[in-house]
Amino acid sequence: MATVIASVLGAQPQQLEGVETVRDVKQRLQLTNYTANVNGTAAKDDTRLSNDDFVALAPAVKGGNANS
């Protein structure tokens, strides 16, 4: 279990205690459809977390071209 800093895009970062994976962070914040990166690197849901990791969460957005 780790204590991490979670930042949801556009909101004040907060500290989360007792999380093990990125999935835990998403569930805790109820943001299951968001993408995550840990310490600046894209991370999957089962990425394990360590103390003081910075988990940034952003809505999953897929860009498209002008015709899509």
Q: Which residues bind other proteins (CB under 8 A)?
A: 5, 7, 9-13, 15, 39-40, 50-54, 56, 58
Q: Are the C-beta atoms of residues 20 and 5 closer than 8 Å to each other?
A: no
Give least dist CB 21 to other proteins, A.
17
Closer of 9 and 60 to other proteins (Cβ)? 9
Neighbours of 32 (CB within 10 A): 10
Q: Are the C-beta atoms of residues 67 and 19 closer than 8 Å to each other?
A: no
Give least dist CB 66 to other proteins, A.
24
> Which 8-state DSSP code applies to residue 8?
E
Closer of 13 and 59 to other proteins (Cβ)? 13
